[in-house]
Amino acid sequence: MSQKTIAVFFGGCSTEHAVSLQSAQAVLQAIDRSLYTPLAVGITRDGAWRCYPGDPGRLPDGSWERDPGCVPCVLSPDRTAPGLLLLDGEPRLLPLDAAFPVLHGKNGEDGTLQGLLELAGIPLVGCGTLASALGMDKDRAHRLAALAGVPAPRGTVFRRGEAFSAVERAAEALGWPLFVKPVRSGSSFGVSRVTGRGGLRAAVEEAFRHDAELLLEEAVPGFEIGCAVVGNDTLVTGRVDEIELSAGFFDFEEKYTLKTSRIHCPARIAPQTEERAAEAAKAVYRALGCRGFARVDLFLTPDGRILFNEVNTIPGFTAHSRFPSMLRAVGVPFDRLVNRLIALAFEDGSRESASPEEKPNAAPDRPQRAPLPVRKPSAGNAAARPCGQTQEVRA
């Protein structure tokens, strides 16, 4: 069997560029060279595309961009010859068998790159265009999750230019404290926890620096849990994890330093609660049309309610990140996980843009799901710990 060429895309024009470099290094080093030939395709902060042939160890510090072997490139949208066009002289095509996007945040995780790959007919590792766009959009993801029986915290969306007085009224109705979030952003960029009216305007201005829409969201009592989901039609989940905070919320600094917080995997919750959380994660995954993999983040309240927070369609991918840790807890090591995700890209129906003729074994439409049952956690679980409310956790 000939090796398949897998392009690993990283970097990108996003506030999460540096995090992507770390994830891509780990993915490139985990790919099984007996099955696949990895091809590193980096996108600089300015948006320049470079085919990088060097050591993945040079990715995290950014020195890969200065490698003399870097070749300017673009993706060919021609479905009859899918691949990478190398531009170091006369253009030449390097065929691709699949693409593995490891770009976090906007211009990579939000469906933009996925759409280009699907236009070219290149099999995609992970979620396609629609699911990626929905996963980045908290408002629309919350609406679809609620229809699938997994409600989100109470919140109100405002667009740039709306009267600040309307924002103030909505905030008073939600109550203090509350969170102000960009609707589409990652790693808690632009997120603020507001404890009173005096801090609201600055939080609104900060959120609008990252997106044209913001979400005012109630602060949820309890704590945050997450669940890794893997699969296309048949889904597998990892162990549910838990974020323990001593104060504040799980902002960008806490995600990557854990100065005052801890991540417990498995979560310190009752087995039946973990099972309900996994079922809720799968329901959200299906409702948003996810494929390949994603991490679903939830809240567990003191009275046992499970609320949907967000979906990360490209979660952190270092060996110590949350998503791989959840799978490792059920016996799936990091290298096996990476290669399994690549294999899923070649399963029938793994491309959203494939026609019915290309998907002869596609599963029929699934029936609507009833709301999940709600049970109270056992004593000493949710009620004892503060909520780590956050947005787009990568760690």
Lookup: tokens for 300: 């567990």
312 is catalytic: yes
Question: Looking at 12, 105, 222, 316, which residue is catalytic?
Answer: 316
Question: Looking at 295, 305, 322, 351, which residue is catalytic?
Answer: 295
CA angle 230, 231, 233 (to 5 degrees): 145
CA distances to 176, 203, 312 from 195, rounded to whole Å, are 5, 11, 27
Q: Decide if 298 contacts 306 (C-beta within 8 A).
A: yes
353 is catalytic: no
52 is catalytic: no
297 is catalytic: yes
Rounded CA gap, 95 and 67, in Å?
23
Rounded CA gap, 144 and 286, in Å?
10
Question: Looking at 23, 76, 185, 187, which residue is catalytic?
Answer: 187
Question: Looking at 12, 14, 16, 238, which residue is catalytic?
Answer: 16
Burial of residue 271 (number of CB atoms within 10 Å: 0-12, 13-18, 19+)? exposed
310 is catalytic: yes
295 is catalytic: yes
Question: Looking at 45, 256, 289, 339, which residue is catalytic?
Answer: 256
261 is catalytic: no
Q: What distance lies between CA 222 and its chain's CA centroid?
A: 23
Question: Looking at 310, 385, 388, 392, which residue is catalytic?
Answer: 310
CA distances to 14, 70, 211 from 106, rounded to whole Å, are 6, 24, 10
16 is catalytic: yes
Contacts for 218-221 with beta carbons within 8 Å, 24 or more apart? 218/153, 218/154, 218/155, 218/174, 218/175, 218/178, 218/179, 219/177, 219/178, 219/179, 219/193, 219/387, 219/389, 220/153, 220/299, 220/301, 220/307, 220/387, 220/389, 221/301, 221/302, 221/386, 221/387
Question: Looking at 224, 297, 352, 392, which residue is catalytic?
Answer: 297
Question: Looking at 312, 321, 325, 350, which residue is catalytic?
Answer: 312
State the catalytic residues: 16, 187, 256, 295, 297, 310, 312, 316
